[in-house]
Structure 1
Amino acid sequence: MPPPSFPPLTGNRLVLATIALSLATFMNVLDTTIANVALTTIAGDLGVSVSQGTWIITSFGVSNAIAVPLTGWLVGRIGQLRLFLSAVVLFVVLSLLCGLSTNLESLLAFRCLQGLVAGPMVPLSQALLLQCYPKAKAGMAIALWSMTTTVAPVMGPVLGGWLTDNVSWPWIFYINGPIGLIAAWLTFVTLKGRESATRTLPIDTIGLALLVLWVGATQIMLDKGKELDWFNSSTIMALAIIAVVTFTFFLIWELTQKHPIVDLTLFKGRNFTTGTIAITLGYAVFFGNLVVIPMWLQSVMGYTATWAGLVTAPIGFFSLLLSPLIGRTIHKVDPRLFASFAFFIFAVCSFWRSTFSPDVALWDIAASHLLQGFAMATFFIALTTVILSGLDQQRIPAASGLYNFMRIMAGSFAASVWTTLWENGATRHHAYLTESVTAYSAPTAHFEAGLGALGLTTGQIYGIINAEIGRQSLILSITDLFWLSGLLFLVLIGLIWLSHPVRRETRPAKDDRNR
């Protein structure tokens, strides 16, 4: 069934609808990163390790990703406006419950539920916003929507750090209350009467069960891998087998079903396939760095949660400034050029960070994030345009849901992978560095003599040496990750040019195709 056709909004009603949908998206995406800089504090308050604290991020991401493919079925049963409003209100309620949690188990349970209700919000906000604008201004609508999805992950650490240092960590969840309620009320007022028709649809229960199993098993394996010594653990082996087997059956089942939970036939389109892979891998690398950089700044560089957030905040400056301009010009310029530019700037920033030394200045870290804002301004807009190009109007909701599912899932997986790579790399570098610390090493002997003159015991001296080696190891490990990130971004430039050119009309006002 084709999506509902409503006349475009105009005037103040269009402005308020845009604000409302943007606020809801901002609140949703904000929660993917707002806990990043508060992990140490939350873990300490709840009496768990920092690595267990990362489950607060991954539990939300995985449940969010799982819920996204259900959007189409839920829209058919409930209606897209009612579903969106319900999701926003439930998100607020669960945010309150997250803040009231007193142990890790309850917090993770509420974060999972929060992720589930958040799943339909992003694709629905995009679909509702596109219906508010004429087709000739679809690029501008996507640009406005993309501003929230690019700025929110950046504002998360800033806001989360300030609230953690100056109020308390539960307020990183309580803040969703006023934002969500305002967004729900404005959406109801401005979009009233624009509800989609409902119908009874079958649900692919087996496909959904297989999806939950393979995504859940994979995420638990990534989260618990280091703690259980990876494949030396029977638990990790069992999870890996479950993930592989259920994923294989999932692919077979979805390709043979009349009403699949995920429409995998979309991958027959070259632009959808290349664009989706590019945005999935690009977002994974970006989000992995977004998780480890605040942890590095706090645990190694001595930054507070507030400053760890502030030093990454400049990434949002050029994103906010340039996104509307990109939206106005995206139909005139090959979006593959914009995407290539984004990946090139991402690579430059990654290689720049790989040169950071232990005494790197705050301004250098901030400048690298400021430059990255150029990439963020074009990343989502260009790749979304490539992904949706050439698709029939009725397939766009399914396409939006599928690529958002893959992007969100990849971000959640990357949070676990990047922290694991960082910790494992630090262990490897620690082993290399300690090889030079011997009784026969002149620098070691000189350092020991200097500390001994201060009255420190041998045990204290070697404790200081070990702590410094640990710090240097973490820095060397994260620079390795920056190098890896830069190389991956360069590879993605080649991938995006495997897509077909996006056809453009000379008269956009008469363009009947969705961009």
Structure 2
Amino acid sequence: MSTTRLILLTTTVIAAAVMELIDISIVNVALSQMGGNLGATLEDTAWVITSYAIANVIVIPLTGFLAAWLGRRTYFIGSIALFTLASLLCGLSTNIWVLVAFRFLQGIGGGALISTSQVIVFESFPVNKRSVASAIFGIGVFTGPTIGPTLGGYILDITSWHWIFLVNVPIGVAVLIGSLLLVKEPAQRQVVKSIDYVGLLLLVVGVGSLQILLERGQEEDWFQTAYISYLTATTVVAIVGFIWWELRVSQPIVNLRVLRSPTLAVASVLTFVTGVGLFTSVYLTPVFAQRLLGFPTLASGLLLLPGALLAIVALILTARLLQTGVPTQLIIAFGFIIFIVFSWQMGHLSPNAGKGDFYGPLIFRGVGLALLTVPLTALALSGLSPAEVPQGAAFNNMMRQLGGSFGIAGTNTYLANRIAQHRTDLVTQLTDNDPETITWLTTASHRLVGQGATELGAIQQSYRLLDQTVTRQATVDSYLDAYLAIGLVFALAMPLILLVVRAAKPVTVSLSDH
């Protein structure tokens, strides 16, 4: 392949993956405006995020099978077309549930784009440049979710929420045309002799139920709500049944036998943890800055940008290190340590922190996650045969998405519990005999009287202000605890790196038969 054609092909397929990844987080900043415009509650509007996540996590593990069944080129181009059309329909929606339905279709189209793009980029490069290919693809994987809130905030500042979806249309059309011209069907492809309908049904039910459970559990007070309890039972039965069935049929819908590779098994767990850090930090940081520190929407999103730019440099550097023979485990361990430093720094921010206080920690975040992206991909695929690579890539990408879902769900539950605990701890220190409490109330009352309030009204308002102050402090402390908790998850996962006996080499197999 000529250099020009390789550049165009790589740019095209990575643009497809980035579109999909941006749409995971770009909607988060628009929920309030979307709900107000469509006359929907915040709870109903949250299904715009949930439906996309459900479709994504169902389709990603099916990517290898669908690419073999339909033909990789046909599947990839069809997915781009579906994603683009669904984006248009989302932007034109005038009803919340119509929007949720089209968002689900968008997730189905987008689910194919990550793993398929990864395999196309990977096999297009010569063997000695495979780590560079991983780094280039890693740029898209990392920057997509990171710039989502920034782009969403900018769009909302200049226009309406509709353009969060409509902006995909011209990009999608360009990617579609580029794919039609550049993406070729592999010379050889697997032949699908039969379809594992039982496995497909169990996967859809199990993973779909799990995603709804994770997305809605905290909002519904977990097992205090009947349908959450039913979903939990359904998830366990369907996923256990799925694993049992897939390991006994000759042509499974998802080849779980690839997990016999110890490198893929370990890399999948570490990728899951990386997904926790990637998506949870993208979720926490704008909310923390916007709701608690009062940053404007666009400014909150821009906090992540410097770290994302430096992460691109780190991704390229990581590929070079792998090419020179630096052990994969060493780079992964270093990435974990840097991310733990980020969590520690964020966990000790002041309630009065300004923008400058965020940039240092968020640069550590970007560099740490960048050092994990390429080596974990290399580690995941290094022990697989050419026939197993597409399934291995899809499984590894699914683990990243599930890590994000588990991380956000767990963080929301943790925040709710910690806010209640911190509030209780603070309130117990506020008594009528406490000098600091008396001084605070007296000062507040005098200030309110000076502003025209009656003496009785000033006293009542000062108590309300004190209650608001306590709630805000409890919430801030809880968010800081959440960052520390994420760092703890990374620290606990680090010993898994030692399970890989030898440094996994970048994949050198040819994927031309896929």
Same fold (TM > 0.5): yes
Match of 2:91 in 1: 99
| 1:28 and 2:20 aligned | yes
Work out the CA distance in 1 between the residues paired with 2:251 and 2:190.
Answer: 16
AA at the equivalent of 1:137: K
Work out the CA distance in 2 between the residues paired with 1:467 and 1:150.
Answer: 37
Match of 1:15 in 2: 7
Comparing 49-58 and 237-246, the one that deviates more: 49-58
What secondary structure does 1:330 align onto?
helix
| 1:412 and 2:405 aligned | yes
Alpha-carbon contact 2:258-2:392 (below 8 Å) kept: yes
Seen in structure 2, the aligned counterparts of structure 1 residues 213 and 350 have a Cα distance that, compared at 3 Å, is: same
AA at the equivalent of 1:422: L
Work out the CA distance in 1 between the residues paired with 2:416 and 2:95.
Answer: 25
Pick one of 326, 330, 339 that aligns with 1:333: 326
Match of 2:310 in 1: 318
Seen in structure 2, the aligned counterparts of structure 1 residues 119 and 98 have a Cα distance that, compared at 3 Å, is: same
Q: Deviations over 1:88-119 (max 9, x none)?
A: 11101111122222333222222221111111
Match of 2:240 in 1: 248
Match of 2:481 in 1: 480
| 1:57 and 2:58 aligned | no
Pick one of 360, 369, 375 that aligns with 2:368: 375
Work out the CA distance in 2 between the residues paired with 1:214 and 1:442.
Answer: 57
Q: Give runs of aligned pairs for residues 281-430 of structure 1, distance below 5 A.
A: 281-331=273-323, 332-430=325-423
Match of 2:141 in 1: 149
Alpha-carbon contact 2:218-2:412 (below 8 Å) kept: no
Seen in structure 2, the aligned counterparts of structure 1 residues 413 and 111 have a Cα distance that, compared at 3 Å, is: farther
AA at the equivalent of 2:463: Y
**What is the deviation of 1:152?**
1.3
Match of 1:6 in 2: none
What secondary structure does 1:32 align onto?
helix
**What is the deviation of 1:50?**
4.3
Work out the CA distance in 2 between the residues paired with 1:321 and 1:201.
Answer: 45
**What is the deviation of 1:374?**
1.6
Alpha-carbon contact 2:55-2:107 (below 8 Å) kept: yes
AA at the equivalent of 1:423: A
Match of 2:202 in 1: 210
Task: Name structure 2 gaps, 5 residues minimum.
Answer: none
Alpha-carbon RMSD: 2.1
Comparing 173-182 and 39-48, the one that deviates more: 39-48
What secondary structure does 2:429 align onto?
coil
| 1:447 and 2:440 aligned | yes
**What is the deviation of 1:274?**
0.5
Work out the CA distance in 2 between the residues paired with 1:495 and 1:418.
Answer: 23
Percentage identity across aligned positions?
Answer: 30
| 1:434 and 2:427 aligned | yes
Match of 2:163 in 1: 171
Alpha-carbon contact 2:415-2:482 (below 8 Å) kept: yes
Match of 1:465 in 2: 466
Task: Name structure 1 gaps, 5 residues minimum.
Answer: 1-8
**What is the deviation of 1:196?**
5.8
**What is the deviation of 1:404?**
1.1
Q: Deviations over 1:307-341 (max 9, x none)?
A: 11001212212211232232233131111111111
Seen in structure 2, the aligned counterparts of structure 1 residues 224 and 25 have a Cα distance that, compared at 3 Å, is: closer
TM superposition score normalised by structure 1? 0.92
TM superposition score normalised by structure 2? 0.92
Comparing 155-164 and 52-61, the one that deviates more: 52-61
Work out the CA distance in 2 between the residues paired with 1:300 and 1:50.
Answer: 19
Seen in structure 2, the aligned counterparts of structure 1 residues 69 and 229 have a Cα distance that, compared at 3 Å, is: closer
Work out the CA distance in 1 between the residues paired with 2:248 and 2:10.
Answer: 39
What secondary structure does 2:25 align onto?
coil
Work out the CA distance in 2 between the residues paired with 1:281 and 1:133.
Answer: 29
Alpha-carbon contact 1:67-1:119 (below 8 Å) kept: yes
